[in-house]
Amino acid sequence: MSDADDRVTARRAAIVIGLVLATLLGLALIWATRRVLVWAVVAAFFAVALKPLVDGAQRRFVRRRALATLVVFLAAFGVLAALTAVIFLPLVDELGRFAERAPDLLRETRAGRGPAGEALERLRLRRYLDGHSDQIQQYGSRLREPSVGLVRRVLEALAGVLTVIVLAYLMVLEAPKITAGVTALLSDRAARRARRIGRGVSRVITGYLTGNLLISVICGVLTFLVLILTGVPFAGVIALLVAIADLVPLVGATLGAILAGGAGFLHSPTAGIVVLVFFVVYQQVENHLLQPVIMARAVRLNPLTVLASVLFAAELAGLVGALLAVPAAGIGQLLLREFWPRGRRPRPAGDR
């Protein structure tokens, strides 16, 4: 082998080693900054969803982009604040009443009276609790220990929410400049394709949000009807909490079932059983019928693709993956249609 061949081989080996090291370095950087990247992805998700509203407000009401963006964001968070007030103010009131009645409830439970005491008697748990009261107190003291870590996680969550809000606001505000800067670097054909892809991505995300909200409304309304029929108090507040929890794919209905079922059992065993049976049936209908069909129409995906994408993404990336699975699948399908080589379509047999 000549010296020239040796130099070519060494150069190729150096290139391969450099590419491998660069890939490892990139993966390590992504892993180290994964929290910030998740925030950026979520912010981009909401920015794309709110951009059409900002564009419409700028065309019809406010000419300045900054003012239109501020008005839309304030309106969106005003709605969220109103929903929060509707949910949490009655809950705070009820928690205050529960705190006042807690000593009496505890005495009734220990004596085997009241809903909780009767339930413990039926399940034969009161003797177990009486015999293991020391262990239960030890577990309670252990639960108080990680309070500092809980506060830290709450502060980190608040910081993440604020970061997402600011990022989404800046993304929407600077969207025209970013779009103009990117399209200026492209040819006319590529610029038209980029604008077409951008409109398609916006349609996918808007359709996903609309479909998800529709499914949550259906879940909340049906839950409200079941709670009213079974006589569970505060049916409206509980149904609203269930509808919000149902925004989370796959596990949202389960969280709602735990909340509503607990309220049902506190009211009466019959109401609790009816509520749990309802949620068992509804979760199957939602996961295998409502979500695939509604999402397929909203995002224009095959129902099987919707269900499979949510299952795989939830397994790979947990809650964030489940939330972003459907729009990611819709965007992937859009990109495939744009960039996949279009072969010659077979002609019908009558045209041959």
Residues 301/295, Cβ–Cβ less than 8 Å: yes
pTM, two decimals, is 0.64
* 87-91, 162-166, 181-185: range with highest mean pLDDT: 162-166
124 pLDDT above the threshold of 60: no
57: pLDDT strictly greater than 80: yes
At 333, is the pLDDT very low, low, confident or very high (cuts 50, 70, 90)? confident
What is the spatial distance between Cα 31 and Cα 19, in angstroms, rounded to a whole number?
18
Question: What tens digit of pLDDT does each residue of 151-172 get?
Answer: 777 777 788 888 888 888 988 8
User: At residue 138, does pLDDT exceed 70?
Assistant: no
Distance of CA 138 to the CA centre of its chain: 36
Better-predicted residue by pLDDT, 256 or 341: 256
| Axis crossing angle, helix 34-60 with helix 188-230, rounded to the nearest 10 | 100
Helix or strand holding residue 217 (H, E): helix 188-230
Q: What is the pLDDT of residues 230-240, one digit of tens each?
A: 888 778 778 88
User: What mean pLDDT, rounded, does the chain reach?
Assistant: 77
In one-letter notation, the amino acid at residue 220 is G
Residue with tokens 């951008």: 198
pLDDT, residue 231, reads 87
Taking the C-alpha atoms of residue 259 and residue 264, their distance in angstroms, rounded to an integer, is: 9
pLDDT at 19 over 50: yes
Least confident of 14-18, 38-42, 96-100, 179-183: 96-100
Residue 232: in which H helix or E strand, if any?
A: none
| CA proximity to 272, closest of 287, 286, 261, 284 | 261
Average pLDDT, integer, range 253-269: 84
Least confident of 120-124, 223-227, 276-280, 298-302: 120-124
Among 224, 211, 173, residue whose Cα is nearest residue 51 = 173
